[in-house]
Chain A
């Protein structure tokens, strides 16, 4: 359980970090919380020659919100800070809740929101609500910034669209629509310290009548190689009056889109069933919450 020998580098500014990441390329790994990376190194799955610790760079951390414009969350912001943030809870409830359900308290105080996406595990907690909330990521290098939706940044199992010399630096969340609410739920072997066999987030916006769905976004985690954005659920619900009958149809539609596999945590069949259970539960919860806004 010993790691390989490596050189540790701790840049203090974005410029130094871009230079190191660009110069060392595939010989280096970027270290943030280390809750995934250090374990992969102890297991000898990864043996980088250099670790570039980006947690001392102030510009990469912190949560800022501007009414009407939305929120920016630095990539090295700890998941615990997202979990406890009052403004995140108020504006992006699904994200605060998901951040609070990652691993254990210790893992949340160590791990970062950027790391949770860069690790690109299909069962990752925060990518699902972030995608449902319409989050974009900013990847930065000495050459400048690139912006893209998070669902395009995560390209597959442990695969992300990060080119040599680039670092994920922040998430941009749009201001929530006036009559909207988001909710997140997961299923795993137990409540705490588990890895989800299915997780899901719903972000729903209602018309002024409080009954008609203006826009809904349902995102599934752990049932595809990356967060799966439902196309069928908005097609069924948008413009329609919310009803239990429609929820049933939407849940079936989500099940039809999911592409789960059987693995150590759950069977394909069980995951299909849970997609239906979570979709029904979350659509109803998010609808009720949006009516209260």
Chain B
């Protein structure tokens, strides 16, 4: 039986009818139409489906949408600045060549956002440790790490 839930996605409220067994990644992609979030393994291993729920990185392919009723969800579409420009993290990924096929990128960006929200100036260890749940099969991880380091610098400029 479908139940109506309310999700605040990227600052906008959506009323969505869901079955209890619908996972958040499917609801975002198929019902809300936000296809930026990718579904990789579907079993919580690869990190491609990472979104922020209440600011924390979660795996949307193993999160029940109904359990997010009334909560704030941020997807990769929500990172873009209000004027449509890429945010510093997205720009750093582009500028550092941290993208190849792009399938892991939304999840990478959301995990990195979660990390930078918590730890604005992460160490190399912090980045590797907190990003280890996101797997990329083409670029390797070096450029992704460099992009996060660069974004951290841009975003904390002038901050002690």
B67 neighbours in A (Cβ, 8 Å): 8, 10, 31, 34, 53, 55
Cβ of B56 and Cβ of A8 under 8 Å apart? no
Closest to A110 in B: B58
Residue of A with least CB distance to B118: A84
Cβ of B58 and Cβ of A193 under 8 Å apart?
no
Q: What B residues does A55 contact at CB under 8 A?
A: 67
CB distance A105 to B130 under 8 Å? yes
Expressed in whole angstroms, the Cα–Cα distance for A191 and B57 within the complex equals 20
Per-position contact with B for A1-20: 1 when CB-CB < 8 Å, else 0? 11111111010000000000
| Interface-located stretch among B7-15, B43-51, B76-84, B88-96 | B43-51
Name B's A-contacting residues (CB within 8 A). Answer: 3, 19-21, 23, 42-45, 47, 50, 56-59, 62-64, 66-67, 69, 111, 114-115, 118, 128-134
**Within the complex, what minimum Cβ distance (angstroms) separates B71 from chain A?**
11
- The segment from A35-43, A143-151, A169-177, A269-277 that touches chain B is A35-43
A39 touches B43 (CB 8 A): yes
Is the Cβ of B132 less than 8 Å from the Cβ of A4?
no
**5 A-B residue pairs with CB within 8 Å:** A5-B20, A8-B3, A8-B66, A106-B58, A191-B132
Most chain A beta-carbon neighbours within 10 Å: one of B3, B56, B118: B56
- CB of A234 within 8 Å of the partner chain: no
Chain A positions within 8 Å of B, measured between CB atoms, are 1-8, 10, 31, 34-35, 38-39, 42, 51, 53, 55, 78, 80, 84, 100, 103-107, 109-110, 191-193
Q: Indicate whether A80 sits within 8 Å of B56 (C-beta atoms), given known contacts A1-B43, A34-B64, A35-B62.
A: yes
In the complex, what residue of chain A is closest to B135 when comparing beta carbons?
Answer: A193
Nearest B residue (CB) for A41 = B21
Choose from A5, A39, A80, A105 the contact partner of B132 (Cβ within 8 Å).
A105
Chain B residue contacts of A192, Cβ below 8 A: 128-129, 132-133
